[in-house]
């Protein structure tokens, strides 16, 4: 704080706020929309294949949670990449976090915003499935 001032504590606040706002909306929205659709598909599949265990409420929750977690991770990944860059390199977003994001896309392309997607998927999908099933 002495070196960079109190504003350094808020460096990643913009991307964190917007990132998790959209991530939560996508995660819970998709999960709730998918639950009945997946249940119907599982019931249909179980009847068609004569495999009764497919018609499982738990399996429907797991599938819905996995898809919701993956979708939410895709939404969150660019904001997390930007947040990490802003915190690690305070001068990177001197003009604000939106300008920092535009600079990041200019330097690395859109692909640069998704470099950490595999790591995020490996963390978020199991978490979302576990949270939503329990």
Classify 109 in phi/psi space as left (phi over 0), alpha (psi -120 to 50) or beta. Answer: left
Tell whether the model's pLDDT for residue 134 goes beyond 90: no
pLDDT score of 64: 96
- Unique residue bearing structure tokens 């998927």: 121
Give 67-117 pLDDT, tens digit per residue.
999 999 999 999 999 999 988 887 887 888 889 899 999 999 999 999 999
């Amino acid at each position: 704080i002495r070196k960079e001032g109190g504003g350094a504590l808020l460096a990643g606040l913009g991307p964190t706020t917007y990132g998790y706002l959209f991530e939560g909306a996508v995660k819970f929205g998709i999960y709730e929309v998918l639950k009945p659709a997946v249940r119907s598909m599982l019931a249909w599949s179980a009847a068609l294949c004569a495999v009764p265990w497919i018609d499982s409420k738990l399996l429907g929750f797991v599938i819905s949670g996995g898809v919701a977690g993956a979708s939410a991770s895709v939404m969150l990944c660019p904001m997390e990449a930007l947040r990490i860059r802003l915190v690690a390199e305070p001068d990177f977003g001197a003009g604000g976090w939106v300008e920092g994001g535009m600079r990041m896309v200019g330097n690395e392309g859109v692909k640069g915003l998704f470099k950490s997607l595999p790591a995020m998927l490996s963390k978020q999908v199991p978490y979302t499935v576990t949270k939503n099933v329990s």
